[in-house]
Amino acid sequence: MTYFHFGNLTIPGEWMAAILAIILGSLLNKLLLRRTATDWYWNSFFLYVLVWKSSYILINPKMFLNMPFSAIYFDGGTKGHLLALIIVSIYLLFFAVKKYISIYEESAQMFLFYFFCYEIIINSLEKNIVESFIHLILLLSFLFILISFKKKQKAWIQVFLMVMLIELLMISLFDTLLSLEGLIFSWIGIIVLLLSNRNARRTRN
Cα–chain-centroid distance for residue 55?
Answer: 19
Instruction: Indicate the pTM of the whole model.
Output: 0.90
Question: Angle at the Cα of 94 (from 189 to 57), degrees rounded to 5?
Answer: 80
- What is the per-residue pLDDT across 17-29, written as a single tens digit (0 to 9) for each? 999 999 999 999 9
- What is the per-residue pLDDT across 103-151, written as a single tens digit (0 to 9) for each? 988 899 999 999 999 999 999 999 899 999 999 999 999 888 887 776 6
- Residue spans of beta strands (DSSP E) within 153-199: none
Q: How confident is the model at residue 152 (pLDDT cuts 50, 70, 90)?
A: low
Identify the CA nearest to 153 among candidates 188, 112, 108.
Answer: 108
Task: Work out the burial of residue 182: count CB atoms within 10 Å of its CB; fewer than 13 is exposed, 13-18 middle, 19 or more buried.
Answer: middle
Residue bearing the bigger pLDDT, 202 or 69: 69
